[in-house]
Amino acid sequence: MRIEIYTKSDELPQLIEGPIQHSTFMFQTIESSSIGKPYMLIAYDEEGKELGHLLMIKKRNIRFIPPVLSVWYSIQGEGAYSEDCKEEDKIFAAFLEKVFDLFDFRHTFIEVENIEDSRFAYGTLSRHSFVPIRDQRIYISLHSKDPHERLTRSYKAHIRKAEERGVTTCRATSDKEINEALTLMKNFYRSKTRKRLPKSKILFNMLHNDDGTLSEKAKMFLVIYKDKIIGSSICLYEKGRAFLAYSCGLRKSFPLQFPGIMAIWAALDNAHREGYAHFEFLEVRGLSKLRRSYLGAISNFGGKEVGTLRWYHFKWNWVNKFLRWIYV
């Protein structure tokens, strides 16, 4: 087995289908924004057939008081593997070995998070002295109950009042609507220091197929009031799950129309009507302690927090040993 690393999207080969977090789209999204630098690790067998791939992101953080430069590598989830692959743990271990061979001591820490099965690669991560720290994921179940029944009383009232005032929601179906909504979204995210929006061209292409028709793997929803777009959201879909990737609303200009809430509700309600089992929030991931206010808003939609593990490996071995003594 050999492992190749790609750092530019135009050099990426055709990849097997897998989670959105490890897709070509996510690679292009990170590449076109200031989130970080993407690395795609691809494993091949002796015949050159892809066994799996893993997306890793290099991130930087600069603090002036005190003056600190942090560089870390983030891995979101297990990776993507071929359907006939039965050695995911072994391939994931090879990915980690490659990461340590190339990037060891060039980082402040390496993090691995959002692993679906907490037993996956547990031994591999422990052997590399990763420190498991308990964390929370949040999602909404759509198969067991109507999402409207999960809303808190206040959010039910907000949605009802918005609709009574003439607010409507729909899917964006024309290039004009999509471009107008992308401009709104771009202006909204410009002031967000902890969130990044990809280039409009990347998002526009994501919402369309190669032949120019609308894609069913990514949809944009609009919040309209008096023929004006006051909010929008983008939702991604895979294997029975819907992921809210981006959402925005002119909350200060239209406070009584609740555009931010309606933008999320439009995507959530559509996912339920289309028969998806779970609805997750991609924006929650990676926001650390600053995500708590956003988590509070999500809980009003009936979001459920589920325990998971975040794994950390620091370049100083004594730090890893000390933290493992505390947490393990």
Q: DSSP H helical segments within the chain, as ranges?
A: 24-31, 88-103, 122-127, 147-150, 153-164, 175-189, 200-206, 259-273, 292-299, 317-327
Both tokens of 160, joined, read 């009802």
Task: Indicate whether 324 belongs to any domain.
Answer: no
**Residue 117 sits in the same domain as residue 159:** no
> Of the ranges 94-108, 131-145, 279-293, 308-322, which one carries the lowest mean pLDDT score?
279-293
**Residue 98 sits in the same domain as residue 176:** no
**Residue 183 sits in the same domain as residue 111:** no
Span 208-237, pLDDT tens digits: 888 889 988 899 999 999 999 999 999 999
309 touches 134 (CB < 8 A): yes
**For residues 160-172, average pLDDT:** 96
β-pair type (218-225, 228-238):
antiparallel
Q: What is the pLDDT of residue 289?
A: 47
**Residue 220 sits in the same domain as residue 290:** yes
Both tokens of 304, joined, read 């459920």
Q: Choose one of 104, 128, 152: the last residue of a domain.
A: 128
* Total domains, the chain: 2
For residue 127, what are the β-bridge partners? none
Q: Choose one of 105, 128, 151: the last residue of a domain.
A: 128
Residue 291 has pLDDT above 60, yes or no: no
For residue 2, what are the β-bridge partners? 44
Q: Choose one of 128, 147, 180: the last residue of a domain.
A: 128
Which of 19-28, 196-205, 263-272, 299-308 has the largest mean confidence?
A: 263-272
Task: Indicate whether 101 belongs to any domain.
Answer: yes
For residue 38, what are the β-bridge partners? 57
**Residue 157 sits in the same domain as residue 68:** no
Task: Indicate whether 326 belongs to any domain.
Answer: no
CATH value at residue 288: 3.40.630.30
pLDDT band for 186, please (50, 70, 90 cuts). very high
Q: Which domain holds residue 159?
A: 139-306
Task: Indicate whether 210 belongs to any domain.
Answer: yes
Neighbours of 124 (CB within 10 A): 18
Span 230-276, pLDDT tens digits: 999 999 998 888 999 899 999 899 999 999 999 999 999 999 999 99
For residue 64, what are the β-bridge partners? 67
**Residue 160 sits in the same domain as residue 96:** no
Residue 67 has pLDDT above 70, yes or no: no
Both tokens of 178, joined, read 């999509």
